[in-house]
Amino acid sequence: MSGNAQFSSGFVQSQELQQHWTRLVYRAGNTAQGSCGGAFGGDDLLDFTAPVDGFYVLSTAAADVDTVLYVRDAGCNGTELACNDDLGFDDDDSALVVPLVADQSVIVAVDANGAGGEYSLTLDVVPCQDEVLASLVPQSEDGSTIGAANVRAGSCGGIAAPEIAYGFTAPSAGTYTFDTFGSSFDTVLYVRDGTACEGPELACNDDEGGLQSQVQVDLGADQIVTIVIDGYSTNFGDYTLGIDD
Ligand SMILES: [Ca+2]
Ligand SMILES: [Ca+2]
Ligand SMILES: [Ca+2]
Ligand SMILES: [Ca+2]
């Protein structure tokens, strides 16, 4: 465990919660492996405690190392939360997204298939809600998913497209309608219960009438939901989110 290093939470909380690490793994021992690889390669195990709730986006870049990246719950035999070997058929770097809650401790492992070597590790955090809307109806909100992160998906789509998530509190009990009518692209819309990054999905819709989306959900007074405007396939663009009761 000589390669073990401590992420400083205070350091991570600086600026935009973004970190870039460059480390040497070629002297690290082979102490761990992930479900997707790393059985025979030296590994670098990093303790990390999440400073805030969010989606943690981790990626490696290495010129001469076929990296394997995984995240486990803290402890020697912690449950694996995510594992990635290769970004693509011809790209042996690794990347993954794992939702964590504030103060959750995990081990970030950079492992290797074959020989170790120098790598850089990048850590970014995407909040569970990008913005919080006013608790009123009707309202509409204009925005864009251009350049947004792709860390979420609904049961009806959105795996490969960037998205924006809003927090919304129902001002009174009733049936609420959310839509993306007037948006410039093929949207996917879903609503999750609560403020957690991956709360239970209440509704998901791809197309309603045209390529835009509409869902209806019954909410109690002061119930908080997370509304996500995502895209079909890899689509992105300007949107209008409508909320009515
Ligand atoms: Ca290993
Ligand atoms: Ca790899
Ligand atoms: Ca998405
Ligand atoms: Ca659609």
pLDDT (tens digit per residue) in 72-81: 999 878 999 9
Which ligand sits nearest to residue 211's alpha carbon? 4
Helix, coil or strand: residue 12: helix
pTM (2 d.p.): 0.87
Residue 36 has a CB neighbour count (10 Å cut-off) of: 18
What is the spatial order of strands in the sheet that 54-61 belongs to?
19-24, 118-126, 54-61, 95-100
Residue 215 has a CB neighbour count (10 Å cut-off) of: 20
Nearest to 161 by CA among 237, 54, 93: 237
Is 1.20.1260.10 the CATH classification of the domain at 131-244? no
pLDDT of residue 17: 53
Distances (CA, A) of 142 to 17, 164, 239: 26, 11, 6
Residue-wise pLDDT for 70-124, tens only, equals: 999 998 789 999 999 999 999 999 999 999 999 999 999 999 998 888 889 989 8
Q: Which residues have CB under 8 Å from 82's CB, separation 6+?
A: 70, 71, 96, 97, 98
pLDDT of residue 76: 78
pLDDT tops 80 at residue 164 = yes
* Boundaries of every domain in the chain: 5-126, 131-244
pLDDT tops 50 at residue 6 = no
- Rounded to an integer, the average pLDDT of 167-181 is 98
Residue 5 binned pLDDT confidence (cut-offs 50, 70, 90): very low
Distances (CA, A) of 72 to 103, 105, 147, 228: 14, 9, 29, 27
Q: How far is the CA of 111 from the centre of ligand 2 (A)?
A: 9
Residue-wise pLDDT for 20-76, tens only, equals: 777 766 667 898 999 999 999 999 888 888 989 999 999 999 988 999 999 999 987
Q: How far is the CA of 4 from the centre of ligand 2 (A)?
A: 21
- In the chain, pLDDT over 70 holds for what percent of residues? 91
Q: How far is the CA of 114 from the centre of ligand 1 (A)?
A: 9
Q: What is the DSSP string of 34-61?
A: BTTB-SSS--EEEEEE-SSSEEEEEEEE
Q: Which residue has the tokens 């309603």?
A: 208
Q: How far is the CA of 166 from the centre of ligand 4 (A)?
A: 18
User: Would you identify the CATH topology of the domain 5-126?
Assistant: Jelly Rolls (2.60.120)
- Rounded to an integer, the average pLDDT of 125-143 is 97
User: Cα 225 to the chain's mean position, in Å?
Assistant: 17
Q: How far is the CA of 93 from the centre of ligand 2 (A)?
A: 5
d(CA 57, CA 151): 8
Q: Over the chain, what is the mean pLDDT? A: 90
- 130-143: buried (b, 16+ CB within 10 Å) or exposed (e) per residue? beeeeeebeeebeb
- Rounded to an integer, the average pLDDT of 202-215 is 97
d(CA 166, CA 189): 11
pLDDT of residue 217: 98
pLDDT tops 50 at residue 168 = yes
pLDDT of residue 27: 63
